[in-house]
Structure 1
Amino acid sequence: MSLLQVKRVNHSFNSKKLFTWRKQSNKALTNISFSIEEGTCLGLLGTSGAGKSTLGKVILGIQRPQKGQVLFQGYDIYNSDKMTQRKIRRDLQVVFQDSYSSVNPRMTAERIISEPLENYEKLTVSEQRRTVISLLERVGLSEKDLKKYPHQFSGGQLQRINIARAISLKPKLIVLDESVSSLDMVTQSLILDLLRELKDDFGLSYLFITHDIKAAFSISDRLGVLEKGELIELYDSKEKFFSSRSPVVIQMRDSILAEHPRSRSLHHG
């Protein structure tokens, strides 16, 4: 059984046309189906407006789809009893793009990372502190960062704290929603290295939502392409992605080449 199964998910948003009362249905997701196996990362690529964030919300249980199912460890996340939903919330975590808006600015790093532990674990004060220190060290920070507030960290450091919080309960799956896209290239590379290490060390699974092909390639085992709310293709390997004749994929590949002047001249020559 797959860890996550998304089955024929459809979702749309209603909007009122200007000067009329007639509602207009805007399709956000159309017949989306895929699965993620334990210990693997699915990179979900798409441009702005492709439906990536909506799909992420559907999988996290934030946005109920109008049609279809989302099964996590075999349970329907929208039609389960309270005990099962609590287990799902523990085993399914998220790291968002904006590290600053993802935390309470009035909380210290210790309090931010402690929140899930307080909700799900029965630890003594000293046990919880040791656990938080261990998590900080695991993401490349240290005990001296415990009492610091979000504004005292760089964007990359704060994203490490968000990652520490996400792994604190040893989840099965983490949704990474554009989690490195707001970082500079050097910091982005370091965070991706960290995510790969954590995946191997903890046996984590990831849904890596991004518009960045290079970032997706560096961490993903499989790749999916979302375009205008449709999952147009799933690729079991990077080689298959590169050999794809899909116009959307070709455009994505060309955008990589266009970043490098030498490649640009070779490509057009």
Structure 2
Amino acid sequence: MSLLQLNELTHSYGSRKFINWKDRSKKILSNISLFLEEGTCLGLLGMSGAGKSTLGKVILGLERPQYGKVLFQGHDIYNTDKHSYQKIRRDLQAVFQDSYSSVNPRMTAEQIISEPLENFEKLTLSEQKRTVIELLERVGLSEEDLKKYPNQFSGGQLQRINIARAISLKPKLIVLDEAVSSLDMVNQTLILELLKQLKADFGLSFLFITHDIKAAYTISDRLGVLEKGELVELYDDKNQFFTSVHPVVKEMRDSMLAEYPRFRSVRRA
């Protein structure tokens, strides 16, 4: 059984034209089916407007699809009992693009990371503080950062705090929605290396949603390509992305800045 399985997901945003009451729904996702195995990372690539963020919201249980199913550990997240849903909430976490809007600016790093622990664990105050310190150190920060507020951190440091919060419950899957896109190249590289290490150490699974080909290639085991709400390509071997003749994939490759020899040779081909 796959950790995550999407079956024929279809979703539209509807609106009405009041003059003649004509339905003008816009299809955002169309008949998407895929799976993700435990301990792996599936990278989902797509340009702006491809439907990536909407798909992430549907998988996280934030936006119910009109058709299709989202199965997490065999449970339909939109049609399950209360006990199973609580387990899904614990085992399915997220890290979003904007590290600052993802946190309460009035909360300290300790309070931010403690939120899920308070909701799902029964720890004493001393146990909780010790756990938070361990999580901070695990993502490259320190006990000295406990009482700092979001505005006292750089973007890269605050994203580390978001990652610490996401891993605090030792989830099965983390959805990373453009999680490194707002960072500079140095911090992107550091965060990607951190995520790879956490994946190896904790057996985590990632759904890595991005428009950044190099970031997706760095961290992913498999790659998929979204275009106008459709899953147009899905590769079990991520290197197949660089030999695909699909016009959308070729356009994405052509738009990529070839900073490394591997990518330069692909572009010439």
Q: TM-score, normalised by structure 2?
A: 0.95
Per the alignment, residue 167 of structure 2 pairs with: 167
Q: By how many angstroms is 1:253 displaced?
A: 1.0
The answer to whether structure 1 residue 127 and structure 2 residue 127 are counterparts is yes
- Report the aligned-residue RMSD: 1.7
Indicate how the Cα distance of structure 1 residues 20 and 154 shifts in structure 2: closer, same or farther if over 3 A, else same. farther
Superposed, which structure 2 residues align to 1:145-160 within 5 Å?
A: 145-160=145-160
- Residues in 2 aligned to 1:209 and 1:159: alpha-carbon distance in whole angstroms: 16
The answer to whether structure 1 residue 221 and structure 2 residue 235 are counterparts is no
Per the alignment, residue 203 of structure 2 pairs with: 203
Counterpart secondary structure, 1:232 = strand
Counterpart secondary structure, 2:14 = strand
Identity, % of aligned positions: 75
- Residues in 2 aligned to 1:17 and 1:245: alpha-carbon distance in whole angstroms: 40
Where structure 1 has 5 or more consecutive residues not aligned to the other structure, the ranges are none
- Residues in 1 aligned to 2:105 and 2:62: alpha-carbon distance in whole angstroms: 23
Superposed, which structure 2 residues align to 1:1-269 within 5 Å?
A: 1-17=1-17, 21-257=21-257, 263=264, 267=268
- Residues in 2 aligned to 1:257 and 1:132: alpha-carbon distance in whole angstroms: 39
Letter aligned with residue 27 of structure 1: K
- Residues in 2 aligned to 1:263 and 1:60: alpha-carbon distance in whole angstroms: 36
Instruction: Please say if residues 257 and 267 of structure 1, whose CA atoms lie closer than 8 Å, have aligned partners that are also in contact.
Output: no
The superposition leaves residues 59-110 of structure 1 with CA deviations (integer Å, 9 ceiling, x where unpaired) of 0000000000000000000001111100000000000000000000000000
Q: By how many angstroms is 1:257 displaced?
A: 4.7
- Residues in 1 aligned to 2:97 and 2:89: alpha-carbon distance in whole angstroms: 20
The number of residues matched between the two structures is: 266
Indicate how the Cα distance of structure 1 residues 72 and 263 shifts in structure 2: closer, same or farther if over 3 A, else same. closer
Instruction: Please say if residues 44 and 223 of structure 1, whose CA atoms lie closer than 8 Å, have aligned partners that are also in contact.
Output: yes
Counterpart secondary structure, 2:63 = coil
Indicate how the Cα distance of structure 1 residues 267 and 240 shifts in structure 2: closer, same or farther if over 3 A, else same. closer
Q: TM-score, normalised by structure 1?
A: 0.95
Q: By how many angstroms is 1:258 displaced?
A: 6.2
The superposition leaves residues 214-238 of structure 1 with CA deviations (integer Å, 9 ceiling, x where unpaired) of 0000000000000000000100112
Letter aligned with residue 12 of structure 2: S
- Residues in 1 aligned to 2:123 and 2:151: alpha-carbon distance in whole angstroms: 28
